[in-house]
Amino acid sequence: MTKIDVACIIDDDPIFIFGAKRMMELSEFCNSFMVFKNGQEALNNLKPIMNTGEVLPDVILLDINMPIMDGWEFLDEFIKIKSHKMVTIYIVSSSINPIDLNRAKRYENVSNYILKPISLNSLKGILEEVN
């Protein structure tokens, strides 16, 4: 299976970030990754990249419960930005609330909803879907 070029993690939990990065390294998931602690930080960094045509992440792993700007607010803003490349978004959350699951389905850019913690099988599934 071909690994992706750039993955992006948007999550405020340093333990999850550490674990996700480690899993990505072990599974040879991607060549590099970007990490942002909330939706606002992610938008502030991704918007200029999208506008200039620089290398965008292939996949975003997005938490929904974060301070400053949560995952839903990020999605609402992110989908408004014109992009030269389709970015596949996976919501990665500890929420099992059916309202969150159904809300995720309303976003065309959201490929799937993955429950935390992320596993090697989850990453393998993402690679299979993206490639």
> Can you spell out the DSSP letters for the chain?
-PPEEEEEEE-S-HHHHHHHHHHHHHTT-EEEEEEESSHHHHHHHHHHHHHHT-PPPSEEEE-S--SSS-HHHHHHHHTTS--SS--EEEEEES---HHHHHHHHT-TTEEEEEESSP-HHHHHHHHHHH-
pLDDT surpassing 70 at residue 86: yes
Could you read off the pLDDT of 15-25 as tens digits, one per residue?
A: 999 999 999 99
Domain count, the chain: 1
Which is nearest to 43 in space by CA: 19, 1, 73?
A: 73
pLDDT surpassing 90 at residue 84: no
Which domain range does residue 83 map to? Answer: 4-130
Mean pLDDT score of the chain, rounded to an integer? 92
Percentage of residues of the chain with pLDDT beyond 90? 76
Q: What is the CATH number of the domain that holds 117?
A: 3.40.50.2300
pTM of the model: 0.94
